[in-house]
Amino acid sequence: MNLSVSRVNRSKEAARASYNRLSGWYDFVAGSTEKKYRDRGLEALSAQPGEKILEIGFGTGHCLVSLARSVGAQGRVTGVDLSDGMLAIARERLQKEGLSDRVDLRLGDAANLDFIEAGTLDGVFMSFTLELFDNPEIPRVLAECYRILKPGGRLAVVSMTKNDPPGIPVRIYEWFHEAMPNYADCRPIFARQSMEESGFKIESADASMMWGLPVQVVLGAKP
């Protein structure tokens, strides 16, 4: 496969401002559409009691709740997100679920996870998040994931992708991404190939469709 990946043309500051504006109604716009794909990603990661898990780009916190329940009282979940608006909503959701004591929330950029020690986590989870990073940053984010995972640790990524040749829905979506990045902010990437290039052993890669757009759920392991 030899397909190009669109670039990300907005700054991190613009992305933060956009998600802060979206945070109050993000669940209404995208929550139900993305849920079944997020759930497949969580199933692939299969967080276990007592594990330490990181979610990158936790949004309004639905997956944090699932992860916190899976790791149990002896486990720990950390969440990193660029948007303080999303963080506030996720914190409120965790408090309502009585799970705040199992989850640490951080405002930050996953291209730099220096607050997490190398080789200390059992799993990392990303859902419709890796696509938000510009092409040069994707290897940096994956390198950080690789660094913080224990040997045998897992990385589960849910992402938009595209086939060869890309279908009409993908071409239309990519045009919107170029023209209106604050509304079509994700774009199709090749998560499996990027993970392999970053040293992960691919355990599974399941494909499906969302509104005519190909979606992959990829599970990789650190050897």
- d(Cα 20, Cα 162) in Å, to the nearest integer? 29
Q: Which residue has the tokens 């965790």?
A: 94
CA pseudo-torsion sign 11, 17, 20, 22: negative
For the chain, the residue count is 223
For residues 162-190, one letter each, b for 16 or more C-beta atoms within 10 angstroms of the residue's C-beta and e for the rest, the string is: beeebeeebeebbeebeeebeeebbbbbb
131 in active site: yes
The conformation of residue 155, written as its DSSP 8-state character, comes to: E
Q: Which residue has the tokens 């899976």?
A: 70
SS3 191: helix
- d(Cα 192, Cα 218) in Å, to the nearest integer? 6
Catalytic residue among 51, 55, 131, 174: 131
SS3 101: helix
- Catalytic positions are 131
